[in-house]
């Protein structure tokens, strides 16, 4: 086939001269311009489905040629492992993360090289086991506040899509930022709305090849999103200002009450917000105000949006599989007191089935359905392909998690897949909701604890009944997994 613009694209080739097609198929594009316009003009559901359909029809990872560069689309665990665990540092974050720069600048998620290393080192201790243990109090309080809304009725219809993001935003603000959102609830709602628009700008750039260029995007589209970016950035600035004041007050208090062997920052009695680490690092000259802003924007976005998607689907699945819901409930009854007084990290680690349930939910509905990388120099893969510099690599977690090569009856919901005995022979990267390798999610345990806590509190008090047929779910493309539907469940109070 002769493709006009693809002629300008660097080509993938093989080490031993075998035809590339003998290793990876290259589907035909919609136009004569290779795959450049494959997504153009499609709505959010259409964009999401292009890659789903290709993975079903081709059954293996495949190549596409877009403007000036190949894109390698990965739907199998072995190739994902080669990419995510690359030791030669020839693979970095993909170009699409640049689309997030207006919102997140170059925070932990989007930065690379030395800057990323330094920031990861700075933030890793804030996810330490001891710190997470202290956040548990907040998760428990927020979960109790969540169920309190329905405590007076025997039955309530709950819009998860509306209420869960509010819960996760409260949790991340209070844990990571050390600021209670109560008196800022309305601003919180506007912040979440603004992120919906930022998500739209991401999809627009993904689907329209012209908007991949920063210059064209800035000239013709950026102004549509400027007001929403301002809302998001003003919100995080307000949080930083509030925390600066609170931290100063807290440090003054600690200085006045400190004993000789107390660590002033990680005191046994006081919680430690992640934002405090950044503010203290600023005092040491390790980060500036702009740096703090980008990390706060990143943690807030990841912290509220991604966890809420996971919770929405997990609660929906509890409603759809009553037998498995009962198994979760029995386990909770066995380990957690009725007044939740022992709902701490140690006790929660005993809720194994609940964890398998969440994991299975993330398998079928991975909150981050796509991870993108690119080669920074010509890179040879173990399967014999030689990827030229700037090859975009898209790891389709959604498809890997449903690939029949890795999963029996992939569309069936079976938490038992995650029993230790059933996971042994699985490829490492067959299951990557939190990604893998050095750029994996820094907050996996944080997210798991938050989700387990809310589910425990809900299940102890309510039975969850379904109000949605999963076959009607329409997925949308987004930075994270989006859906058109409003997911609702019915909560029925347990006697
Ligand atoms: C169920 C919940 C979550 C899931 C499924 C999830 C998933 C992921 C994935 C797949 C990545 C890698 C993204 C990529 O390389 O493109 C990631 C990175 C990251 N996540 Fe999460 N995440 C979750 C919750 C959270 C929470 C609650 C926070 C913050 C408190 C967080 C903070 C981050 C950060 C900062 C990164 C960038 C790490 C780096 O590159 O060093 N995540 N997450």
Q: Residue of the nearest CA to atom 11 in ligand 1?
A: 441
pLDDT of 229 strictly over 80: yes
Identify the pLDDT of residue 262.
55
302: CA distance to ligand 1 center in Å? 6
437: CA distance to ligand 1 center in Å? 12
Identify the pLDDT of residue 3.
56
pLDDT of 2 strictly over 50: no
Identify the pLDDT of residue 8.
62
pLDDT of 182 strictly over 80: no
CB 376 within 8 A of CB 91: yes
pLDDT of 270 strictly over 70: no
439: CA distance to ligand 1 center in Å? 9
Identify the pLDDT of residue 269.
45
188: β partners? none
pLDDT confidence band for 432 (50 / 70 / 90):
very high
Buried b (16+ CB within 10 A) or exposed e, 227-253: ebbebbbebbeebbebbbebbeebbee
Identify the pLDDT of residue 6.
55
Q: Which atom of ligand 1 is nearest to the CA of 97?
A: 16
pLDDT confidence band for 267 (50 / 70 / 90):
very low
Identify the pLDDT of residue 290.
94
Q: Which atom of ligand 1 is nearest to the CA of 172?
A: 30
pLDDT confidence band for 424 (50 / 70 / 90):
confident
Region 225-244 average pLDDT: 94
Pocket probe mutation, ligand 1, options 302, 303, 437, 450, max atoms within 8 Å of Cβ: 302
Question: What single DSSP character describes residue 3?
Answer: -
Q: Residue of the nearest CA to atom 29 in ligand 1?
A: 303
pLDDT confidence band for 264 (50 / 70 / 90):
very low
Identify the pLDDT of residue 26.
86
Q: Which atom of ligand 1 is nearest to the CA of 451?
A: 1
pLDDT confidence band for 268 (50 / 70 / 90):
very low
Q: Which ranges of 9-159 does DSSP label H, i.e. alpha helix?
A: 44-58, 77-84, 101-104, 113-123, 129-148
Percent of the chain at pLDDT exceeding 70:
95
Report which of residues 34 and 343 the model is more confident about.
343
Q: Which atom of ligand 1 is nearest to the CA of 311?
A: 1
300: CA distance to ligand 1 center in Å? 11
Identify the pLDDT of residue 260.
61
Q: Which residues line ligand 1 (CB under 6 A)?
A: 108-109, 120, 172, 176, 298-299, 302-303, 306-307, 310, 367-368, 371, 433-435, 439, 441-443, 446-447
Region 158-164 average pLDDT: 96
Q: Residue of the nearest CA to atom 1 in ligand 1?
A: 307
Q: Residue of the nearest CA to atom 18 in ligand 1?
A: 441
The per-residue pLDDT for range 445-491, each reduced to its tens digit, is 999 999 999 999 999 999 999 999 999 999 998 999 999 999 999 99
Output the CA angle 459-319-455, nearest 5 degrees: 30
CB 10 within 8 A of CB 388: yes
Region 404-413 average pLDDT: 96
Question: What single DSSP character describes residue 306?
Answer: I
Report which of residues 260 and 434 the model is more confident about.
434
Q: Which atom of ligand 1 is nearest to the CA of 397?
A: 10
pLDDT of 1 strictly over 70: no
pLDDT of 143 strictly over 60: yes
Q: Which atom of ligand 1 is nearest to the CA of 274?
A: 30
The dihedral region occupied by 178, where left means phi > 0, alpha psi between -120 and 50, and beta the remainder, is left
pLDDT of 271 strictly over 60: no
CB 313 within 8 A of CB 359: no
358: CA distance to ligand 1 center in Å? 16
446: CA distance to ligand 1 center in Å? 10
82: CA distance to ligand 1 center in Å? 20
Pick the most confident of 10-19, 191-200, 398-407.
398-407
Cβ neighbours for 129, distance < 8 A, ≥ 6 positions apart: 345, 445
Pocket probe mutation, ligand 1, options 443, 450, 478, max atoms within 8 Å of Cβ: 443
Identify the pLDDT of residue 242.
92
Cβ neighbours for 150, distance < 8 A, ≥ 6 positions apart: 156, 158, 462, 491, 493
pLDDT of 248 strictly over 80: yes
pLDDT of 384 strictly over 60: yes
Identify the pLDDT of residue 39.
80
Identify the pLDDT of residue 120.
96
- Sort 4 into a burial class: Cβ within 10 Å, 0-12 / 13-18 / 19+: exposed
Question: 3-state SS string over 329-376?
Answer: HHHHHHHCCCCCCCCCHHHHCCCHHHHHHHHHHHHHCCCCCEEEEEEC
Sign of CA dihedral 328, 330, 336, 337: positive
What is d(CA 343, CA 187) in angstroms, rounded to the nearest whole number? 31
pLDDT of 87 strictly over 80: no
Identify the pLDDT of residue 266.
46
Q: Residue of the nearest CA to atom 7 in ligand 1?
A: 434
465: β partners? 490
Region 357-362 average pLDDT: 98
Identify the pLDDT of residue 175.
92
Question: What single DSSP character describes residue 50?
Answer: H
* pLDDT, mean over the chain: 91
pLDDT of 261 strictly over 70: no
């Amino acid at each position: 086939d002769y493709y006009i613009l693809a002629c300008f694209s660097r080509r993938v080739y093989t080490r031993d001269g075998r035809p590339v097609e003998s290793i990876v198929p290259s589907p035909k594009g919609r136009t004569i311009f290779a795959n450049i316009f494959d997504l153009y003009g499609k709505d959010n559901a259409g964009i999401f489905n292009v890659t789903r359909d290709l993975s079903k029809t081709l059954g293996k990872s495949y190549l596409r040629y877009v403007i000036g560069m190949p894109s390698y689309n990965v739907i199998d665990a072995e190739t994902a492992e080669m990419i995510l665990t690359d030791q030669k540092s020839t693979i970095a974050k993909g170009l699409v993360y640049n689309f997030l720069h207006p919102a997140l600048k170059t925070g932990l998620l989007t930065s690379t090289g030395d800057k990323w290393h330094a920031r990861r080192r700075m933030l890793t201790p804030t996810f330490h086991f001891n710190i997470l243990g202290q956040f548990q109090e907040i998760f428990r309080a927020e979960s109790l506040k969540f169920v309190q809304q329905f405590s007076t009725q025997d039955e309530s219809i709950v819009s998860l899509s509306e209420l869960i993001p509010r819960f996760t935003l409260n949790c991340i603000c209070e844990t990571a930022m050390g600021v209670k959102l109560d008196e800022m609830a309305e601003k919180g709602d506007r912040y979440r709305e603004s992120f919906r628009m930022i998500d739209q700008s991401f999809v627009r750039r993904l689907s329209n090849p012209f908007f991949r260029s920063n210059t064209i995007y800035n000239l013709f589209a950026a102004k549509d999103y400027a007001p929403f970016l301002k809302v998001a950035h003003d919100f995080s600035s307000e949080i930083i200002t509030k925390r600066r004041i609170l931290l100063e007050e807290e440090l003054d208090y600690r200085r006045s009450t400190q004993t000789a062997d107390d660590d002033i920052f990680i005191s046994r009695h006081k919680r430690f917000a992640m934002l405090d680490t950044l503010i203290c690092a600023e005092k040491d000259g390790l980060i500036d105000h702009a740096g703090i802003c980008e990390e706060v924007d990143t943690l807030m976005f990841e912290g509220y949006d991604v966890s809420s998607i996971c919770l929405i689907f997990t609660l929906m699945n509890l409603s759809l599989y009553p037998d498995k819901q009962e198994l979760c409930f029995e386990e909770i009854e066995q380990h957690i007191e009725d007044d939740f007084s022992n709902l701490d990290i140690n006790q929660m680690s005993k809720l194994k089935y609940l964890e398998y349930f969440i994991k299975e939910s993330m398998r079928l509905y991975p909150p981050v359905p796509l991870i993108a990388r690119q080669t920074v120099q010509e890179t040879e893969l173990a399967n014999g392909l030689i990827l030229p510099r700037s090859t975009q690599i898209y790891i389709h977690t959604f498809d890997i998690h449903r690939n029949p090569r890795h999963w029996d009856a992939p569309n069936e919901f079976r938490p038992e897949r995650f029993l230790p005995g059933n996971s042994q022979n699985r490829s490492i990267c067959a299951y990557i909701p939190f990604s893998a390798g050095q750029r994996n999610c820094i907050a996996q345990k944080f997210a798991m604890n938050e989700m387990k806590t809310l589910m425990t509190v809900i299940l102890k008090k309510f039975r969850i009944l379904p109000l949605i047929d999963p076959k009607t779910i329409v997925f949308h493309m987004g930075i994270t997994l989006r859906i058109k539907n409003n997911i609702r469940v019915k909560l029925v109070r347990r006697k």
